[in-house]
């Protein structure tokens, strides 16, 4: 048996955490890039479709170049269709419209960061996974943080509440996507699953793209670099690169430990918004973000004693 030196293990762990940190930073920035497109008046149906189709095409080229088997078994077709329906179709549309209605990338990121909690409920329902007292306590703390953030947001109103509802629908869709991925992961490589997820999702989004997305198409604006720059970042960095790095994180850290890091996405988004001057938060709002992040972290701590 080959012995691996402690120094090599340390270097490997550092690399994994660097990859994970880079992924979280890029995902945190994704809310800023989405908000930039929305503020320019670019329809959600336009840039979400391009992001998804572009990412799927890149992954298709990559899988073919690597000689990876991309055949789908007939019995799994319905699972792939459900996977793509949950994400990117439902998830990206609800997430992006959620950012539009709340007018707050940070608040949107904070709600989406509760996805690991929704995934735990999905695991409880579909895979008979257990919840501990610490998991439940973490959920309650997270909800408290969101309440603090909501009560101090200047955007509270009808559109704000609609945005929050859409974001929670996106969270549920993400949990559904995680469940479908778990069902398929034993028979397909992660890159193949994600490739079909984006390509099929592009088919779902195409009718919206060719109707609402192109309804006011202006080449001078829609094809400008100011618009394509954030779309390119979302497609290549946040979809293709982040997924590749996140697979490495899950493989080496496990699902629970890697999920904990997602709790810090809203912190990255808030810091980015502050640096770019697009969103400034009050001290109480920062408290809400930190409390919610702590709650998500606690909800992912594994204990031997389960109560559910």
- Domain of residue 114: give its range: 15-129+155-252
CA distance 100 to 106: 12
Residue 248 lies in a domain: yes
Residue 142 lies in a domain: no
Q: Number of folded domains in the chain?
A: 1
Q: How confident is the model at residue 120 (pLDDT cuts 50, 70, 90)?
A: low
Confidence (pLDDT) at 130: 66
Phi-psi region of 71 (alpha: psi -120 to 50; beta: other; left: phi over 0): beta
Chain segment 20-47, per-residue pLDDT in tens:
888 888 988 898 898 889 889 999 999 9
Tokens of 265: 């996405």
CA distance 63 to 163: 36
Q: How confident is the model at residue 174 (pLDDT cuts 50, 70, 90)?
A: confident
Confidence (pLDDT) at 24: 83
Residue 105 lies in a domain: yes
HSE (side-chain half, CA atoms, 13 Å) at 199: 14
pTM above 0.85, yes or no: no
Residue 144 lies in a domain: no
Residue 55 lies in a domain: yes
Which backbone phi and psi does 119 adopt, to 5 degrees?
-65, -35
Residue 10 lies in a domain: no
Residue 83 lies in a domain: yes
Residue 163 lies in a domain: yes
Contacts of 253 (CB under 8 A, 6+ apart): 16, 20
Average pLDDT for 105-115: 77
CA distance 118 to 45: 26
Confidence (pLDDT) at 232: 94
């Amino acid at each position: 048996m080959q012995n691996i030196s402690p120094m090599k293990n340390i270097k490997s762990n550092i690399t994994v955490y660097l990859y994970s940190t880079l992924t979280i930073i890029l995902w945190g920035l994704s809310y800023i890039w989405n908000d930039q497109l929305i503020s320019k008046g670019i329809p959600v149906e336009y840039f979400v479709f391009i992001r998804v189709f572009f990412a799927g095409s890149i992954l298709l080229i990559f899988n073919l170049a690597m000689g990876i088997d991309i055949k789908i078994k007939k019995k799994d077709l319905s699972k792939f269709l459900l996977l793509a329906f949950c994400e990117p179709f439902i998830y990206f549309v609800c997430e992006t419209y959620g950012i539009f209605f709340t007018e707050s990338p940070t608040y949107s990121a904070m709600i989406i960061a509760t996805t690991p909690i929704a995934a735990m409920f999905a695991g409880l329902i579909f895979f008979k996974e257990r919840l501990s007292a610490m998991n439940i306590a973490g959920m309650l703390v997270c909800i408290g943080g969101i309440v603090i953030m909501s009560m101090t947001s200047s955007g509270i109103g009808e559109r704000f509440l609609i945005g929050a509802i859409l974001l929670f629908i996106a969270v549920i869709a993400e949990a559904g996507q995680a469940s479908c991925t778990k069902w398929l992961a034993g028979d397909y490589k992660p890159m193949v699953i994600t490739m079909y997820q984006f390509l099929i999702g592009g088919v779902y989004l195409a009718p919206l793209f060719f109707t609402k997305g192109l309804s006011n198409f202006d080449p001078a604006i829609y094809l400008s670099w100011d618009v394509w720059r954030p779309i390119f970042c979302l497609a290549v960095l946040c979809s293709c690169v982040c997924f590749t790095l996140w697979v490495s994180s899950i493989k080496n850290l496990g699902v629970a430990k890697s999920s904990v890091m997602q709790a810090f996405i809203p912190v990255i988004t808030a810091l980015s918004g502050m640096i770019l001057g697009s969103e400034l938060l009050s001290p109480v709002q920062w408290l809400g973000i930190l409390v919610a992040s702590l709650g998500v972290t606690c909800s992912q701590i594994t204990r031997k004693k389960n109560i559910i």
